[in-house]
Amino acid sequence: MAATPDSAPATIRMTPPLLWVYGCGAFGMLLQIGGTAILARILAPQSFGEIAVAAAVLRVAQHVANMGMTTALTREAGRIEAAARALILFSVGFSLLLAGLLWICAPMLLWLQPEATGSIPVLRALAFTPVLAACGQAAAALLQSRLDFRRLGLAQLAAQASGQIGVAIPLAILGAGTWSLVCGSLVQAAMLAALVLMFARPGWRGPLAVPADLLRLGFRYMLLRLLDVSGQSIPPLAITAMAGLAATGSFDRAFALSVMPLDWLATGLATVLFPIYARQTAQAENARLLLPSIALGGGVLFAVAIGMLMARDHLVLAVLGPQWHAATPLLGWLAAWGFLRGLVVLNGSLVEARSSLRFRSWQQAGYVVCLAGLLLLVRPSGADHIMMLLVAVEVVNVALLFWHAAHVAGLAALPLLRSLLAVFYPGLAVAVSLALVLPVTAAWPAATALGLCIGLSALALAGSLYWHPAPALRSLVRSLLRRPA
């Protein structure tokens, strides 16, 4: 009997979406790194600091505007078409109200840092980004629920290219300063909304009222996202208050080189796994999919983070330039934080897909409260001390979430521990390869040395995954490399 989409093996259903998510995402990261390399040589750290402060506030606002509906509709895939029109009208209206509130409250940034006057008009302009994103919210959920990551990935890639290459870089060359980044962000948000609407074509004949149960479910997911992004927004705001906008700019560029690639790797896998997890009913299937997928995702994340940590001098010099030397120590801490956050994303996708939202809410609330409390109690003197506290809190956060994800999937402690140990094997292979080559490349040009480090690390990572000693992980890797019939 032929396998139906829901009865087909989960690994087979993962393969095409993963290829599109990571294929488009890889091009997107190349655009991101290339754009960062160009803009870092044109704009001063102060400019990046001004937009980083505004972006930290905006990240929270965007998740409030989204109301958690993208995740809720992905989980309730069969109801997207009927609720599409109501959702778009509701989201756009709510986002306009939120933009007005941000416009009024923008001067409160001066309470954080008196020199942040340039961030006020930036925040007011970027306040309209959630409005643009709301237009494509239902369409993006529809593409994700269909596992149509080809169109979704191409839309994101085209939007990023138009915003960064088409707008931000030319305006920066013409001397627009911080506003080149603002205009690029607005164009990217508008283009993404237009493209996903064109690809998904959500229906426009549904009711005008969003179903109450969807709003309740979306509100619960919104609280989770809000707590999560609040933890991510605390570090740049704390650095701004304690060290100034220039230090925030260095943090922002180190963040773009470390946390953003790691977050892309984790989010790509979690985006594919979430609808698959949501459709699994048997604990045996959960266990069979959870362990190797988390071991694979965590192994890749750990290997990339180790590579960033060991080659951080070459990475900063080659991409940002010598004027950004203050970003070098931050990049190491951010690589560690990015790895831990990736584990949170991977485990959280299972917990949320299985509707275990109460624990996630309390866990994320505890994380934000502990982080903010430690910063107020210790009052660290610099950006690197802030990052040390951040990594320490994140370790505890990962341990709690990993234990609960295993409980949700019905796993015992021993197989869970084995899967956790499997995460570190690819990173050790990368560390050995870089330990051999870094002393040789110390006097080389930074770009040449970085290229060699990336090539050797990629070979070590690929080999360690293909011949991994864990049979389940090795089987998953080889099945992903086989093209399904």
pLDDT bin (cut points 50, 70, 90) of residue 214 is: low
Residue 281 has pLDDT above 50, yes or no: no
pLDDT bin (cut points 50, 70, 90) of residue 407 is: confident
Q: Give residues with Cβ within 8 angstroms of 391, minimum separation 6.
A: 333, 336, 337, 340
Q: CA-to-CA distance for 47 and 51, rounded, in angstroms? A: 7
* Residue 90 pLDDT: 75
pLDDT bin (cut points 50, 70, 90) of residue 231 is: confident
Alpha-carbon distances, residue 103 vs 59, 92, 118, 135, 238 (angstroms): 15, 16, 14, 20, 22
Q: CA-to-CA distance for 117 and 33, rounded, in angstroms? A: 28
Q: Which of 21-30, 41-50, 119-128, 380-389 has the lowest mean pLDDT?
A: 21-30
* Residue 361 pLDDT: 75
pLDDT bin (cut points 50, 70, 90) of residue 351 is: low
Higher pLDDT residue, 232 or 439? Answer: 439
Q: CA angle at residue 217 from 212 to 219, to 5 degrees?
A: 95
Higher pLDDT residue, 337 or 276? Answer: 337
* Residue 3 pLDDT: 41
Q: Give residues with Cβ within 8 angstroms of 336, minimum separation 6.
A: 305, 309, 391
* Residue 12 pLDDT: 43
Q: CA-to-CA distance for 343 and 223, rounded, in angstroms? A: 20
pLDDT bin (cut points 50, 70, 90) of residue 162 is: very high
Percent of the chain's residues with pLDDT above 90: 22
pLDDT bin (cut points 50, 70, 90) of residue 344 is: confident
Alpha-carbon distances, residue 60 vs 113, 203, 230, 482 (angstroms): 19, 29, 6, 40
Over residues 458-481, the mean pLDDT reads 83
Over residues 473-485, the mean pLDDT reads 69
Q: Give residues with Cβ within 8 angstroms of 234, minimum separation 6.
A: 368, 371, 372, 375
- Residue ranges per structural domain of the chain: 42-210, 216-485
Q: Which of 189, 183, 159 is nearest to 51 (CA)?
A: 183
* Residue 7 pLDDT: 41
358 burial type by CB count under 10 A (0-12 exposed, 13-18 middle, 19+ buried)? exposed
* Residue 419 pLDDT: 65
Residue 116 has pLDDT above 50, yes or no: yes
* Residue 8 pLDDT: 42
Over residues 38-66, the mean pLDDT reads 83
* Residue 1 pLDDT: 37
Q: What integer best gives the mean pLDDT of the chain?
A: 80
Percent of the chain's residues with pLDDT above 70: 77
Q: Which of 395, 340, 385, 65 is nearest to 235 (CA)?
A: 385
Residue 43 has pLDDT above 50, yes or no: yes
pTM exceeds 0.75: yes
* Residue 4 pLDDT: 41
Residue 48 has pLDDT above 80, yes or no: yes
Residue 256 has pLDDT above 60, yes or no: yes
* Residue 87 pLDDT: 73
CA atoms within 13 A on the CB side of 441: 22
Over residues 177-194, the mean pLDDT reads 92
pLDDT bin (cut points 50, 70, 90) of residue 209 is: low
Residue 286 has pLDDT above 60, yes or no: no
What are the pLDDT digits (tens) for 370-389? 888 888 888 887 888 888 88
pLDDT bin (cut points 50, 70, 90) of residue 6 is: very low
Over residues 255-268, the mean pLDDT reads 86
pLDDT bin (cut points 50, 70, 90) of residue 434 is: very high
* Residue 208 pLDDT: 58
- Find the largest Cα–Cα distance for the chain: 69
* Residue 288 pLDDT: 58
Residue 105 has pLDDT above 80, yes or no: yes
Residue 133 has pLDDT above 50, yes or no: yes
Alpha-carbon distances, residue 131 vs 64, 81, 140, 211, 243 (angstroms): 11, 21, 15, 21, 32
